[in-house]
Amino acid sequence: MSGTQPLRVAVLAGGRSSEHEVSLSSGCAVREGLQTAGHEVLWVQIERDGAWHSEGERLSLCPGEGLLGADVVFGALHGPFGEDGTVQGLLEMLDVPYVGAGVAASAVCLDKVLFKQLMSTTNTPQVDYLGVRVQRWHSAKEEVLAEIDSLGLPVFVKPAHLGSSVGIAKMTARDELIPAIEVAFTHDPLVIVEVLARGVEVECGVLGHSHAEQASGAGLALASEPGEITFAGEFYDYAAKYTPGGMELKIPARITASARARVMELAVEAFEHAGCEGLARVDFFVDGEEVLVNELNTMPGFTPTSVYPKLMAASGISYPELLDRLCRLALERHEQRQLSGTA
- Domain parsing of the chain, residue ranges: 8-100, 107-125+198-325, 129-195
Task: Classify strands 72-75 and 8-14 as parallel, antiparallel or unpaired.
Answer: parallel
Helix (H) or strand (E) holding 250: strand 247-250
Architecture of domain 8-100: 3-Layer(aba) Sandwich (3.40)
The set of residues, in sequence order, having a beta carbon less than 8 Å from that of 49 and lying 6+ positions away, is 16
Q: In this predicted model, what pLDDT tens digit does every residue of 246-288 receive, in sequence order?
A: 679 999 999 999 999 999 999 999 999 999 999 999 999 999 9
Task: Classify strands 169-171 and 129-133 as parallel, antiparallel or unpaired.
Answer: unpaired
The set of residues, in sequence order, having a beta carbon less than 8 Å from that of 39 and lying 6+ positions away, is 6, 7, 8, 9, 324, 327
The angle formed by the CA atoms of residues 296, 118 and 217, to the nearest 5 degrees, is 65
The set of residues, in sequence order, having a beta carbon less than 8 Å from that of 131 and lying 6+ positions away, is 112, 113, 116, 160, 190, 191, 192, 193
* For the chain, percent of residues with pLDDT exceeding 90: 84
Distances (CA, A) of 274 to 32, 110, 206, 217, 279: 30, 11, 13, 21, 12
Comparing CA positions, the residue from 188, 300, 306 lying closest to residue 240 is: 306
Contact 252, 224 (CB under 8 A): no
The answer to whether 301 is a known catalytic residue is yes
pLDDT number for residue 162: 75
- Rounded distance between C-alpha atoms, residue 42 and residue 16, angstroms: 20
The set of residues, in sequence order, having a beta carbon less than 8 Å from that of 160 and lying 6+ positions away, is 111, 112, 113, 131, 188, 190, 191, 192
| Catalytic residue (choose from 71, 203, 283, 324) | 283
pLDDT number for residue 234: 59
**In the CATH scheme, what is the code of domain 107-125+198-325?**
3.30.470.20
Please say if the pLDDT value at position 164 is more than 50: no
Please say if the pLDDT value at position 245 is more than 50: yes
Confidence of residue 168 (pLDDT cuts 50, 70, 90): confident
Superfamily of structural domain 129-195: ATP-grasp fold, A domain (3.30.1490.20)
Comparing CA positions, the residue from 223, 216, 213, 218 lying closest to residue 266 is: 223
Confidence of residue 239 (pLDDT cuts 50, 70, 90): low
Contact 77, 93 (CB under 8 A): no
| Catalytic residue (choose from 18, 297, 306, 315) | 297
| Catalytic residue (choose from 16, 260, 281, 328) | 281
Please say if the pLDDT value at position 216 is more than 70: yes
Confidence of residue 238 (pLDDT cuts 50, 70, 90): low
| Catalytic residue (choose from 242, 262, 328, 332) | 242
The answer to whether 242 is a known catalytic residue is yes
Q: In this predicted model, what pLDDT tens digit does every residue of 115-134 receive, in sequence order?
A: 999 999 999 999 999 999 99
| Catalytic residue (choose from 106, 164, 224, 315) | 164
| Catalytic residue (choose from 301, 306, 315, 319) | 301
pLDDT number for residue 289: 98
pLDDT number for residue 121: 97
Q: In this predicted model, what pLDDT tens digit does every residue of 5-52 receive, in sequence order?
A: 999 999 999 999 888 999 999 999 999 999 999 999 999 999 999 999
The answer to whether 290 is a known catalytic residue is no
| Residue 224 per-residue DSSP state | P
Helix (H) or strand (E) holding 191: strand 190-195
The answer to whether 16 is a known catalytic residue is no
pLDDT number for residue 342: 65
Mean pLDDT for the stretch of residues 308-332: 97
| Catalytic residue (choose from 19, 194, 203, 237) | 19
Chain-centroid distance, C-alpha 39: 24
| Catalytic residue (choose from 295, 315, 324, 325) | 295
The answer to whether 297 is a known catalytic residue is yes
Distances (CA, A) of 174 to 112, 134, 146, 148, 166: 23, 19, 10, 9, 22
Residue 217 has phi, psi (to 5 degrees) of: 95, 15
pLDDT number for residue 203: 98
Contact 25, 303 (CB under 8 A): yes
